[in-house]
């Protein structure tokens, strides 16, 4: 067992870490300290969309580090401005606020919603959030999260959230009818941590309609779905709508910590000097990395590649697992892919690790794949072969599902 796995070590014991430590990576591949090679089908949880050690990101970070790393937001930051311009052009949103993580991006969104409410004489503003959602681990974002495990032990929770089932327009309409201090809806276009839950195609359109009628803000948490992963730059582009607020983080910096809250229209100018801030947010180093990520994605047309790979992978998994009666569903939107089994399957994570494959299991029984967008066709085939073999041998050891 390596030193970093030692339970008595100096890192707080907040993670159930797998018994492996990586030393370097290239593209979709990682190598551990003993020289074993792994196909990374998780990308550091949807972060390394360009794979590991991408030369364009390495170059941008190195060059910027040699020029200027940090000055604080007391001063102008040219690369941050360039990044904000790029994000506005890509998304159609108007303004950016930069933080250092997904949770911080969502904190900014929550603050915008509350201030928007107060500006409209709503003293106790509420935000509608979803069952099964994940929005982060800070006090406000864990309160918004629809998973008791994330909240347990940290009560009192932050107030001002009303929870409804996901993918249920009627439930939102009921709240609209019965509650007059709602100011916003915060929702993931696809629930990632919740188990790759893909709502009906008209779900966001329906939410947009209610928000317009009620004068609420539609706030999309695209921290996992954004930056090309869904096969569009932003998952809302699969619908006909635009959000008022959108948060991004994970893949934005390809591993350099950066998050952003984008806003437009009536949400764009809610935050004013003194309302919010961050010491590190959008500093020259991370902004340069994010700019390199966007440029590289554009130059290599990686968003359409994600869409094409996603279709290809879901088809391949569906075909290969068609005769496995424990496989309930194979679903995906771009490179957000879920393979749902009829049985808890967290053991598959270690089985895959032992076979040189990095995967994750969400919601206990959904194999979650978030491979890098730079996956080649040959690597995609390897992923399908390896994983289907593992799933088949895992389910072969399970009791046969009850017939009805
Ligand atoms: C990962 C994630 C977050 C939290 O991001 P952190 O950078 O870990 O704070 C929030 N929302 C969604 C949808 C996520 O996937």
CATH number of the domain within which 365 lies? 3.90.1150.10
Q: Are 191 and 291 contained in the same domain?
A: yes
The pLDDT score that the predictor gives to residue 398 is: 86
> Could you tell me the CATH number of the domain that includes residue 203?
3.40.640.10
Residue 325 alpha carbon to ligand 1 centre in Å: 33
pLDDT band at residue 261 using 50, 70 and 90 as cut-offs: very high
Rg (CA), the chain: 21
Nearest to 159 by CA among 151, 168, 167: 151
| Mean pLDDT of the 105-132 span | 98
Domain boundary among 299, 328, 346: 299
Q: Are 271 and 306 contained in the same domain?
A: no
Q: Are 335 and 200 contained in the same domain?
A: no
The pLDDT score that the predictor gives to residue 6 is: 61
- Is 400 inside a domain boundary? no
- Is 141 inside a domain boundary? yes
Q: Are 7 and 81 contained in the same domain?
A: no
- Give the list of residues 6+ apart from residue 344 with CB closer than 8 angstroms, or none: 364, 365
Strand-pair partners of 197: 191
- Give the list of residues 6+ apart from residue 276 with CB closer than 8 angstroms, or none: 97, 108, 111
Q: Is the CB of 244 under 6 A from ligand 1?
A: no
pLDDT band at residue 401 using 50, 70 and 90 as cut-offs: low
Note the pLDDT tens digit of each residue in 61-112. 999 999 999 999 999 999 999 999 999 999 999 999 999 999 999 999 999 9
| Mean pLDDT of the 299-318 span | 98
Q: Are 81 and 44 contained in the same domain?
A: no
pLDDT at residue 1 greater than cutoff 90: no
pLDDT at residue 268 greater than cutoff 90: yes
Name the residue at shortest CA distance from atom 15 of ligand 1: 224
Q: Are 377 and 235 contained in the same domain?
A: no
- Is 31 inside a domain boundary? yes
Q: Are 157 and 225 contained in the same domain?
A: yes
SS3 350: helix
Q: Is the CB of 223 under 6 A from ligand 1?
A: yes
Q: Is the CB of 44 under 6 A from ligand 1?
A: no
Domain boundary among 299, 330, 351: 299
Q: Give me the domain span that covers residue 38.
A: 3-54+301-395
Residue of 14, 46, 103 to mutate, ligand 1, most atoms within 8 A of C-beta: 103
d(CA 109, CA 107): 5
pTM of the model: 0.97
Note the pLDDT tens digit of each residue in 143-167. 999 999 999 999 999 999 999 999 9
% of residues, the chain, pLDDT over 70: 97
- Quickly list DSSP for 262-308: EE-GGGTT---TTS---SSTT-HHHHHHHHHHHHHHHHTTHHHHHHH
Q: Which residue has the higher pLDDT, 5 or 403?
A: 5
| Mean pLDDT of the 17-23 span | 97
- Is 349 inside a domain boundary? yes
Q: Is the CB of 134 under 6 A from ligand 1?
A: yes
Q: Is the CB of 369 under 6 A from ligand 1?
A: no
Q: Are 189 and 325 contained in the same domain?
A: no
- Is 403 inside a domain boundary? no
Number of domains in the chain: 2
Residue of 193, 254, 257, 286 to mutate, ligand 1, most atoms within 8 A of C-beta: 193
User: Quick one: DSSP state of residue 197?
Assistant: B
Q: Is the CB of 189 under 6 A from ligand 1?
A: no
pLDDT band at residue 402 using 50, 70 and 90 as cut-offs: low
Q: Are 293 and 305 contained in the same domain?
A: no
Helices and strands in the chain: count of H runs, count of E runs: 12, 15
Residue 402 alpha carbon to ligand 1 centre in Å: 37
Q: Are 219 and 141 contained in the same domain?
A: yes
Domain boundary among 243, 266, 299: 299
Note the pLDDT tens digit of each residue in 229-251. 999 999 999 999 999 999 999 99
d(CA 270, CA 79): 24
Among the atoms of ligand 1, which is closest to the Cα of residue 137? 9
Strand-pair partners of 209: none
Which residue is it, tokens 């279709």?
A: 311
């Amino acid at each position: 067992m390596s030193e970093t796995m030692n339970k008595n070590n100096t890192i707080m014991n907040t993670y159930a870490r797998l018994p492996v430590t990586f030393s370097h990576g290239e593209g979709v591949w990682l190598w551990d300290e003993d020289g074993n090679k792994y196909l990374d089908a998780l990308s550091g949880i949807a972060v390394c969309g360009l794979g590991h050690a991408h030369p364009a990101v390495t170059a941008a970070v190195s060059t910027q580090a040699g020029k200027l790393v940090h000055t604080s937001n007391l001063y102008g930051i040219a690369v941050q401005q360039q990044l904000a311009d790029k994000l506005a052009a890509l998304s159609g949103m108007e303004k950016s606020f930069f933080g250092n993580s997904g949770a911080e991006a969502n904190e900014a969104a929550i603050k915008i919603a509350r201030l928007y409410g107060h500006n409209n004489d709503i003293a106790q503003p509420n935000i509608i959030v979803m069952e099964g959602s994940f929005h982060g681990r800070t006090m406000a974002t864990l309160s918004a999260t629809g998973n008791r495990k994330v909240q347990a032990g940290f009560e009192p929770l932050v107030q001002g959230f009303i929870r409804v089932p996901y993918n249920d327009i009627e439930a939102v309409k009921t709240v609209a009818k019965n509650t007059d201090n709602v100011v916003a809806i915060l929702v993931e276009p696809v629930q990632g941590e919740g188990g790759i839950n893909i709502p009906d195609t008209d779900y966001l359109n329906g939410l947009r309609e209610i928000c317009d009628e009620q004068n609420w803000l539609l706030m999309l948490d695209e921290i996992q779905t954004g930056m090309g992963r869904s096969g569009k730059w932003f998952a809302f582009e699969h619908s006909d709508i635009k959000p008022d607020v959108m948060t991004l983080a994970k893949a934005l910096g390809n591993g350099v910590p950066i998050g952003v809250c984008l806003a437009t229209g009536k949400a764009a100018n809610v935050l004013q000097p003194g309302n919010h801030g961050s010491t590190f947010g959008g500093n020259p180093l991370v902004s340069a990395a994010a700019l390199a990520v966007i440029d590289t994605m554009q130059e290599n047309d990686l968003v359409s590649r994600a869409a094409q790979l996603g279709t290809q992978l879901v088809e391949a998994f569906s075909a290969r697992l068609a005769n496995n009666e424990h496989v309930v569903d194979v679903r995906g939107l771009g490179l957000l892919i879920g393979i749902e089994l009829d049985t808890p399957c967290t053991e598959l994570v270690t089985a895959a690790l032992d076979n040189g494959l990095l995967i994750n299991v969400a919601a206990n029984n959904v194999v979650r794949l978030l491979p890098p967008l730079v996956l080649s066709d040959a690597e995609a085939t390897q992923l399908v072969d390896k994983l289907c073999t593992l799933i088949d041998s895992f389910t072969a050891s399970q009791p046969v599902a009850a017939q009805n």
